[in-house]
Structure 1
Amino acid sequence: MDQSKENAEFPSCDAYFEAIQSKKKLPLSLQESLTAAFAQIPVSSFPEVPTGRVIEIPGDTSVLEAVRILSEHNIRAAPVLNPEPGALADWKGRYLGVIDYSAVILWVLENAELASVALSAGSATAAGVGMGAVGAVGVTALGATGPAAVAGLTAAAVGAAVAGGLTAEMGVAKDGLASADHLGEDFYKVLLEQEPFKSTTVRSIVESYHWSPFVPITLDSSMLTVLLLLSKYRLRNVPVIEPDKPVIKNFITQTGVVKGLQQCKGRDWFDYISALPLSDLGLPFMSIDEVITVKSDDLILEAFKCMKDNKIGGVPVVEGPKRKLVGSVSIRDIRFLLLRPDLFSNFRQLTVIEFMKTLGSTLPDSGNNCLVQPPPTCAPDTSLGSVIDSIASRITHRIYVVDGDLEVVGVVTLRDVISCFIHEPPGYWDTYLASANIGEASGQRSQISGES
């Protein structure tokens, strides 16, 4: 694993956005005019999702079935419906949150540990311990202290271990990667076929892992609000609801917004900004020393753990001391480990390059899969318009900035692209929260930005 700053703190939302704004070589009058224009465009004018309806997943759906739904519809996230028959009629009662591949990775890595515990105890169900039968003391004794430690599935597995007289000092692996190796080929058998893991529901994941805040907006909100949520405030998607109706009308993603910007070719403001080189727009935001990469001979589970730990959606795969780019792995690729166990029976020893080659020889070349084709790249002096075209055509969330030797020197994400076109007027967010009446401004801001 190559991470130049192992424990470096990522900048806050304000620090990131202020840095981008300060580096942009754009006339202030243009920025103010664009921001004012976006503030006047209602969300209702944004195109609906391609299928015409938002894909929703009931909360009592199993994790594996949810992964199948996301994969079949080629989407990265979906709203989760409250399965309770007496749920409130408004959106707060109808929806539990959003499920995405980020939460699935957390579930897989944490339950590699718990599956190891369950196997050592003879299986959770064999121990005869019901959901919630073990308290916090039992959980702590086994070293299972992550977010899932209070969920029912975890309690059952840990309870089985307690019933079997197992303790953390008896050799059970303490992290997901070591546990996967400890489990060996039994990993899939336990995680996909045995209880309580097999029946883990989307609801339990959404309520345990809060990776993606659920922040819906209304049809009469402005597109400026959407652009700020998807850029400065780091959301990957924004649900749109109708006033006085509990149904999600639209689901706006970073990808959808960037493709919408691409369709603005021919407009003076877009042509002017898109013709600028990345450096004139403060990109790439990260310096070369801050770019997080994985090596081709790293284990694939280590790559997923890297994405989880750093809260990023993908990593470049590199080789050699010059970090030559040879591929890319994204967070949504976890679906292949769950849906195609026949391809990865030796997954605990599977390297990133082997993972890529296996899928590259199995998946059809659709033209936008970085596991089949090389990931999109650009030079440091590439224009923003070229970057937008490349990202939009490949339907990817990032493009890697490389030098003449294909060394990775930076990353430009969808968030970065959106940030180039807007700035936040003073006091805008607090004013919006107050007018939207969706909660205390400080609390909602904290939920969105991750501030404590």
Structure 2
Amino acid sequence: MAESNQTQCIAMDSATALQRYLDHIPVSSISGIKSSVVLEVKTGDFVKDALRIMFKKNVASALIADVSTDGFPDRFIGFVHLSSLLLWCIQEIRKLENEIECIESEKTKETVCGIMGFLEQNPHIGQTKVGELGKTFLWDPYFPVGMRDTLFHVLLMFSKHRLQAVPVVELSNSNVIGFITQTAVIHLLLESSGLEWFDGIADKVISDFRFDNEEHVLHVYGDQNIIEAFYILWNKQIGAVAVTDRGSKRLIGCLRNSDAYLLLEKEDLFQNRK
């Protein structure tokens, strides 16, 4: 019993030390915040138009402004990602194709150049307003932080609200000056050499991981089609899915929801999604 209490005490001390370490790292130490493009879409914008502007500006996400509160500093009500909009479109397209039972008809091949062309031809999908997607929990909530907040606060935001990015605002005027992404935080943590917990993660090689008990691991096989993989990402509301070799069961990579961006970049990929 004494050994158990001692172990618990050490574990608590370790956790407290880690928390204090993270609570002394200011948000301002995270690189690339002010270099990110701040783009906003309005609740009244069509999904197809939001996709087009985000693709044109080469941004992964945008703030959602409430059209009924234009001019107010707190007009932002959410945060939407390009990949989330694309996955929603794929889900709606999948439903439509199942209904009409002509997934790869010659007519479709001739008239649809890519996903944007498909949305133009199907206005009940493309002309859905961004504001209407709130009920599908497609948005991230708008929880901004300031440059004087700490990394520990940001990590709590990521874990508690399952955010992909956090807006950073100027305290004087509440203007959004940039974003903190999960990737940026990971890069910063990987620079924290000398801490056993961080070093233990950084030293691991991805190819060392195997999926012997595949029933409990969410994955797709490398020979499955891309639309199935994207459907899993949408249905399970996850950021990535492992890709394994069907024969050896070894990990060969992963498909991220951000890879849905390729459907906009490569028209033939959308046409041949099956």
On the 8 A contact 2:38/2:178 being kept in 1, the answer is no
> 1:80 touches 1:97 (CA, 8 Å); kept in 2?
yes
Name the structure with the higher helix share: 2
Instruction: Mark the runs of 5 or more structure 1 residues left unpaired by the alignment.
Output: 1-23, 117-170, 351-452
> Which residue number in structure 2 is paired with residue 293 of structure 1?
219
**Partner residue of 1:153?**
none
Measure how far apart 1:78 and its partner are: 2.5
Q: How does 1:144-163 map to 2 (within 5 A)?
A: none
Output aligned runs, 1:46-195, within 5 Å.
Answer: 46-49=30-33, 51=35, 53-59=36-42, 61-71=45-55, 75-84=59-68, 86-87=69-70, 89-91=72-74, 93=75, 95-100=76-81, 101-114=83-96, 172=99, 180=103, 184-185=108-109, 189-195=117-123
Match in the other structure for 2:3 = none
Does the aligned pair in 1 maintain the 2:78–2:139 contact within 8 Å?
no
Question: Which residue is equivalent to 1:275?
Answer: 199
Partner AA of 1:105 in structure 2: L
Aligned partner of residue 78 in structure 2, secondary structure: strand
How far is the alpha carbon of 1:304 from its aligned partner? 0.7
Does structure 1 residue 313 correspond to structure 2 residue 239?
A: yes
Residues of 2 paired with 1:318 and 1:311: CA distance?
Answer: 20
Paired letter, 2:77? L
CA shift for structure 1 position 75: 4.6
Task: Classify 1:290/1:214 alpha carbon distance in 2 versus 1 (closer, same or farther; 3 Å).
Answer: farther
Residue correspondences, number: 253
Deviation at 1:336, TM superposition (A): 2.4
Partner of 2:146: 218
Distance 1:244 1:204, change over 3 A: farther
* Matched letter for residue 200 of structure 2: L
Query: Partners of 2:191 and 2:53 in 1: how far apart?
Result: 29
Instruction: Give identity over the alignment, percent.
Output: 24
TM norm structure 1: 0.47
Matched residues in 1 for 2:137 and 2:102: separation? 20
Deviation string 1:359-401 (CA, Å, 9 cap, x unpaired) is: xxxxxxxxxxxxxxxxxxxxxxxxxxxxxxxxxxxxxxxxxxx
Q: Is the 8 A contact 1:238 1:251 kept in 2?
A: yes
Is 1:336 matched with 2:259? no
- Per-residue deviation, 1:180: 4.3
Gaps of 5+ in 2: 1-7
* 215, 228, 237: which one aligns with 1:302: 228
TM-score (normalizing by structure 2): 0.72
User: Could you say which residue in structure 1 is the equivalent of 2:177?
Assistant: 249
| Change in 2 beyond 3 A, CA 1:314/1:180 | farther
**Equivalent residues of 1:190, 1:197 under 8 A apart:** no
* Aligned CA-pair RMSD: 3.7
Give SS of 1:55's match: coil
Q: Structure 2 vs 1, CA of residues 320 and 77 (structure 1 numbering), >3 Å: closer, same or farther? A: same
Per-residue CA deviation, residues 253-298 of structure 1 (Å, 9 max, x unaligned), is 1101111123333xx4x3x333336899xxx8x9944221112332
1:33 corresponds to which residue?
Answer: 17
CA shift for structure 1 position 244 = 5.5
Give the CA deviation at 1:40.
3.9
Label 1:205 to 1:341 Cα distance change in 2 as closer, same or farther (>3 A).
farther
